[in-house]
Chain A
Amino acid sequence: SQKIEQNSEALNIQEGKTATLTCNYTNYSPAYLQWYRQDPGRGPVFLLLIRENEKEKRKERLKVTFDTTLKQSLFHITASQPADSATYLCALTYGQNFVFGPGTRLSVLP
């Protein structure tokens, strides 16, 4: 079965720096890879989607890369702000399956 890992359970960075979060999967290449943000007590909010034939996607301060050879996606938040503090989840769609990673809790310190 598909196993998804996210680089660390928690990540602390200083305001203004770039946060880089990692999502690795073990088996099947997904048709889509998605990143979501989840705040405590709230549902996940969709951020970006990247397809298996795409290398990079950007949206404002967010950037996602996708390397099917390494079986890895990187999620970058540039010029990070305390308001970016949240849990970030990667999710893979392959076939009829949709699977979440365990998430990384990001804290941006002022």
Chain B
Amino acid sequence: GAVVSQHPSWVICKSGTSVKIECRSLDFQATTMFWYRQFPKQSLMLMATSNEGSKATYEQGVEKDKFLINHASLTLSTLTVTSAHPEDSSFYICSARTGEPQHFGDGTRLSIL
């Protein structure tokens, strides 16, 4: 089956640092990758959609200068949380899609101290 690998699975860092999260589709080429954010006991909220080789499309209210997305190949997308602050602490999940359904990574728990 389709596998999406997300790395790292958890990260703890100081306020003000930048954190990069990788999302890879291991056994298929993803035309589109998505980044979600999930707060405790809530559903996934879409942050942005990225297509290989083009700029990401951000959802309303998501700061594109804060959450930098790079989709350099059909199997890799990265999300960089720049100058992270405690309010950025959350569970970040990526997904990859080529047709239906979407397949999800296992998430990255980000804790900013």
Contact = CB atoms under 8 A, between A and B. Distances in A.
Interface residues of B, number: 19
Contacts of A41: 91, 107, 109
Contacts, number: 42
Contacts of B109: 41
Contact of B107 (A42, A101, A103): A42
B102 A98 contact: yes
A41 B110 CA distance: 12
Interface of A: prevailing SS: strand
Interface of A: 32, 34, 36, 41-46, 49, 89, 91, 93, 98, 100-103
Interface of B: 4, 6, 34, 42-44, 46, 91, 93, 95, 100-107, 109
